[in-house]
Structure 1
């Protein structure tokens, strides 16, 4: 039995869900981003209790097909952007079609209908968040960040960054530096 879980998008989320399953006495075959594969079935009562405890932690069991597909799309995009070194070499539509075993046109229409935005815009938003994260560490040049996040050039990254945030990457980096103060200055 597979259970799909909304908002389970990182390694810590997997650990939290795993711990909650263990607390409930449920031993999963695997816990992956957005889904739990169980070795057996759960009773309605067990499922209800699990859903309640997961909701308290900010997660939610998804029980309809469209919502599961949307969550799988989001999980795949997040995984591709934040947890994969291969993102710059993969076409988004081909990646999603292959990963989810659906035609990209269907996935795209469903996502737009339910979320009110396109998969592409969601993907770009995730990439910009990754760029912000990398800029925060201040270890890479903008050129290296563009390369690592799959942008063809710094100009392309800068244009998308400005369109998404209203700021240039350079200005954003300066703001970030001004936001943090030394403990001694407080």
Structure 2
């Protein structure tokens, strides 16, 4: 919405706007592009026009959507999913991602899943086994192991610490 508003203020027409991507109807001049870039940076966005950076952002966006909007449920393995969506060879995007991000795609995917686990634990509406099922873990033990590896805490310790750091709305 913010990106759309900035573009509209400058009378720039778009074909579509979605997470991480804008398709303009017409080419804009370099001066106008610089103005848009500066305004986007003021509100915390970055204009990406380098092909390699676009690919990395596309991969991140796909993983974030998969984990946070589709609950991590894949009907195929991650490499096939990303290759299909990007229309690029997985070995190429995997090497590019590792080179530019300093971590593997799989590690990034796991970190996103763990962040989703934390979010669901904070909401305290689902049990750990329900969270494991929802995020397509093979077992609670697998989720717990991955959680500890990424955060340094077991899920139960994380939940205990979280109880002491948050206050209920009616207690504020």
CA distance in 2, matches of 1:81, 1:184: 32
Give the equivalent residue in structure 1 for 2:77. 91
CA distance in 1, matches of 2:73, 2:11: 37
Contact 1:146 1:152 in 2 (8 A): yes
CA distance in 2, matches of 1:185, 1:150: 35
CA distance in 1, matches of 2:136, 2:155: 16
Q: Displacement, 1:87?
A: 2.1
TM, length-normalised to structure 1? 0.87
Give the equivalent residue in structure 1 for 2:121. 135
Equivalent of 1:102, from 81, 85, 88?
88
State the secondary structure of the residue aligned to 1:62.
coil
CA distance in 1, matches of 2:129, 2:67: 17
What residue ranges of structure 2 are gaps of 5+ in the alignment? none
The Cα offsets for residues 119-151 of structure 1, whole Å up to 9 and x where unpaired, read as 000000000000011111110110110111111
CA distance in 2, matches of 1:164, 1:86: 17
CA distance in 2, matches of 1:148, 1:114: 31
Q: Which runs of 4+ in 1 moved over 6 A?
A: none
Give the equivalent residue in structure 1 for 2:152. 166
Give the equivalent residue in structure 2 for 1:48. 34
The aligned length equals: 172
Is 1:73 aligned with 2:48? no
Quick one: structure 1 residues 61 and 82, their matched pair in 2 at CA, closer, same or farther if it must change by over 3 Å?
same
Q: CA RMSD in A?
A: 1.5
Equivalent of 2:19, from 33, 40, 45?
33
CA distance in 2, matches of 1:185, 1:85: 32
